[in-house]
Amino acid sequence: MSFKNIKKDFPILEQKVNGKNLVYLDSAATTQKPKEVINSLNNYYKETNSNIHRGVHTLSQKATEKYEKARVMIANFIDATSSKEIIFVRGATEAVNLVASSYVKPLLMENDEIIISQMEHHANIVPWQMVCEEKKAKLKIIPIDENGELIINKFNELINKKTKFISLNHVSNSLGTINPIKKIIHIAHQKNIKIMIDGAQAVQHLEISMKDIDADFYCFSGHKMYAPTGIGILYGKKELLEQMPPYQGGGDMIKSVTFEKTTYNDIPNRFEAGTPNISGAIALGKAIEYINKIGISNINKHEEDLLNYATSKLKKINKVKIIGEAKEKAAVISFIIEGIHPHDIGTIMDSHGIAIRAGHHCTQPIMDFYNVPATARASFAIYNTKEDVDELVKAIEKCIKVFA
Amino acid sequence: MNEWDDLYLEVILDHNKNPRNNHELEKHTHHADGHNPLCGDRVSINILMDNETVKEVSFTGSGCAISTASASILTETIKNKSKYEIENLFKDFHDLVTNKNEDKKKLGKLAIFEGVKKYPARVKCATLSWHALMAALEGEKETTTE
A213, A223, A280 from A184: Cα distances, Å: 10, 27, 32
The yes-or-no verdict on residue B3 having pLDDT over 80 is: no
- Other Cβ atoms within 10 Å of A263 Cβ, number: 9
Reported pTM: 0.92
Q: What is the mean pLDDT of residues A337-366?
A: 92
Average pLDDT, rounded, for chain B: 90
pLDDT at A290: 98
pLDDT at B1: 64
pLDDT at B102: 67
Question: Of the candidates B40, B119, B121, which has its C-beta nearest A373's C-beta?
Answer: B40
- Other Cβ atoms within 10 Å of A273 Cβ, number: 17
**CB neighbour list of residue A277: distance below 8 Å, 6 or more residues apart:** A88, A90, A230, A231
**ipTM greater than 0.90, yes or no?**
no
- Compute the C-alpha angle B85/B91/B94, nearest 5°: 135
Establish if B43 touches chain A: CB-CB under 8 angstroms. no
Q: How far is residue A391's CA from residue A398's CA, in Å, rounded to a whole number? A: 11
Give kind and range of the element (H or E) at residue A342.
helix A342-351
Q: Are A126 and A92 in contact (CB under 8 A)?
A: no
Residue B52's Cβ-count burial label (10 Å; 0-12, 13-18, 19+) is exposed
Which segment of A7-16, A92-101, A268-277, B4-13 scores lowest on mean pLDDT? B4-13
Is the peptide bond preceding residue A245 cis, with omega within 30 degrees of 0? no
Q: How far is residue B15's CA from residue A220's CA, in Å, rounded to a whole number? A: 45
Average pLDDT, rounded, for chain A: 95
Which of B64, B118, B124, B128 to mutate to probe the A interface, most A CBs <10 Å? B64
Residues of chain A in contact with residue B119, where contact means CB-CB under 8 angstroms, are 347
**CB neighbour list of residue A208: distance below 8 Å, 6 or more residues apart:** A78, A79, A170, A199, A202, A218
Establish if B118 touches chain A: CB-CB under 8 angstroms. no
Domain B3-139 belongs in CATH node 3.90.1010.10: yes
Residues of chain B in contact with residue A402, where contact means CB-CB under 8 angstroms, are 2, 4, 8, 13
Q: What is the mean pLDDT of residues A88-112?
A: 98
Q: What is the mean pLDDT of residues A322-331?
A: 97
User: β-pairing, A113-117 with A163-169?
Assistant: parallel
Q: Name the percent of chain A lying above pLDDT 70.
A: 100
**CB neighbour list of residue A171: distance below 8 Å, 6 or more residues apart:** A177, A178, A179, A199, A201, A202, A205, A206, A330, A332
* Residue B87: pLDDT band with limits 50, 70, 90: very high
The answer to whether A399 is a known catalytic residue is no
Query: Which of B1, B130, B3, B2 minimizes the C-alpha distance to B66?
Result: B130
- Ranges of each domain in chain A: 6-25+296-399, 38-293
Q: How far is residue A196's CA from residue B38's CA, in Å, rounded to a whole number? A: 28
Residue B27's Cβ-count burial label (10 Å; 0-12, 13-18, 19+) is exposed
**CB neighbour list of residue A316: distance below 8 Å, 6 or more residues apart:** none
A113, A272, A400 from A358: Cα distances, Å: 34, 35, 16
pLDDT tens for A215-247 read 999 999 999 999 999 999 999 999 999 999 999
Which of A17, A340, A347 to mutate to probe the B interface, most B CBs <10 Å? A347
Establish if B50 touches chain A: CB-CB under 8 angstroms. no
Backbone angles phi, psi at A232, to 5 degrees: -155, 180
Q: How far is residue A176's CA from residue A87's CA, in Å, rounded to a whole number? A: 26
* Residue A53: pLDDT band with limits 50, 70, 90: confident
- Ranges of each domain in chain B: 3-139
More confident residue, A54 or A315: A315
- Other Cβ atoms within 10 Å of A53 Cβ, number: 17
Residue A271's Cβ-count burial label (10 Å; 0-12, 13-18, 19+) is buried
- Class (C level, CATH) for A6-25+296-399: alpha beta
More confident residue, A359 or A154: A154
Establish if A283 touches chain B: CB-CB under 8 angstroms. no
Q: How far is residue B38's CA from residue B123's CA, in Å, rounded to a whole number? A: 12
Question: What residues form DSSP beta bridges with A329?
Answer: A177
A23, A66, A113, A164, A365 from A100: Cα distances, Å: 38, 30, 13, 11, 21
The yes-or-no verdict on residue B2 having pLDDT over 80 is: no
Residues of chain B in contact with residue A403, where contact means CB-CB under 8 angstroms, are 13, 16-17, 65
Give A189's Cβ-side CA count (13 Å radius): 12
- Compute the C-alpha angle A396/A379/A169, nearest 5°: 135
Topology of domain A38-293 in CATH is Aspartate Aminotransferase; domain 2 (3.40.640)
- Intra-chain end-to-end CA distance of chain B, in Å: 34
Query: Which of A132, A82, A145 minimizes the C-alpha distance to A105?
Result: A132
More confident residue, A377 or B51: A377
Q: How far is residue A294's CA from residue A286's CA, in Å, rounded to a whole number? A: 13
pLDDT at B103: 74
Which segment of A106-110, A388-392, B121-125 scores lowest on mean pLDDT? B121-125
DSSP state of A340: B
The yes-or-no verdict on residue A361 having pLDDT over 90 is: no
Residues of chain B in contact with residue A373, where contact means CB-CB under 8 angstroms, are 39-42, 62-63
3-state secondary structure of A156: helix
- Compute the C-alpha angle A189/A194/A199, nearest 5°: 105
Establish if A18 touches chain B: CB-CB under 8 angstroms. yes
Give kind and range of the element (H or E) at residue B84.
helix B83-97
The yes-or-no verdict on residue B145 having pLDDT over 70 is: no
Phi-psi label, residue B61: left if phi above 0, alpha if psi -120 to 50, beta otherwise: left
Q: Do A402 and B4 touch (CB under 8 A)?
A: yes
Give A155's Cβ-side CA count (13 Å radius): 26
3-state secondary structure of B138: coil
Q: Do A351 and B3 touch (CB under 8 A)?
A: yes
Q: What is the mean pLDDT of residues A15-39?
A: 97
pLDDT tens for B128-144 read 999 999 999 998 776 77
pLDDT tens for A254-269 read 888 888 888 888 999 9
Q: Name the percent of chain A lying above pLDDT 90.
A: 89
